[in-house]
Amino acid sequence: MADFLNLSAPIPRLKFRARRLARAEGIALHQALDRIARAEGFASWSLLAARAARAERSAPGAALSPAQLLAQMQPGELVLLAARPGQGKTRLGLALLAEALRAGRPGAFFTLEYAEPAAWDRLRAFGLSVEDREAGRLILETSEDIAAGWIAARLAGIAPGALVLVDYLQLLDQRRDKPPLAEQLAVLAGFARQSGAVVALISQVDRVYDPARQSLPGPADLRLPNPVDLSLVSRFCFLQGGACALVAA
């Protein structure tokens, strides 16, 4: 998208610059965004965002099916599935899980969001069942002890190419007895590399993200209660308004 518009940086990075500028100069975020846009040759941020949205809609692969997304995710990758509430990030993650099982790959779903009965309700909607667990194709865990090291230990020996869905990033360190989020992200990235699994980690997007200004969120829009090293992430999958795009880190 940035190359198409000939911008100095991708939209998420420009937005990050604007936030930093707003804090440094004590100005409103919309003023900072407009200043950044003018530096890029646009009269306002709204014009830049509208042009970016048109470029994004015309870009190849801007909207991908679960099967297409899964085909692009390589063994050993840590992928973030990110969106605002209600945009379908959990639904997409479960669809990827179902695709993996249909392709003969094992799958695992670790959720701190759902109790086990509710988790099975969600899984059944995608054709997954207790029989898949009994046959060794699917692992479901809903324990409050879920954390990165706990996941890695539970999945010791899992076959390469497995799809591991973790629900979700912002809940991993909600308890004080769990390691900091930055450490857990590093553990998950290391586990993915060593095991050859694809770890798909669901993540929230910050409330300040405005789809009227930018059609899809980016890495700078992630809601991060504690600092993390996003360079550990191989790919980002962002969703908004029915659109879906897979972005290399």
The predicted model scores a pTM of 0.76
In the 8-state DSSP scheme, what is residue 222? B
CATH of domain 66-248: 3.40.50.300
Distance CA 21, CA 35 (A): 9
User: In order along the chain (249 residues), what is the average pLDDT of each group of 10 residues?
Assistant: 54 84 93 91 87 57 74 96 94 95 97 96 95 97 97 97 97 94 97 98 94 89 92 94 85
- Residue 2 is predicted with a pLDDT of 35
Q: Which secondary-structure segment (H or E) carries 188?
A: helix 181-195
Among 174, 204, 191, 178, smallest CA distance to 232 is for 191
Give the pLDDT confidence score for residue 56 in this predicted structure: 52
* DSSP code, position 82: E
Q: Residue 1, SS3?
A: coil
Please list the residue range(s) of the chain that carry CATH number 3.40.50.300. Answer: 66-248
68-106 burial string, b = 16+ CB within 10 Å, else e?
A: ebbeebebbbbbbbbbbeebbbbbbbbbbbbbbbeeebb
Between CA 181 and CA 15 the distance in angstroms is 24
What is the per-residue pLDDT for 60?
A: 39
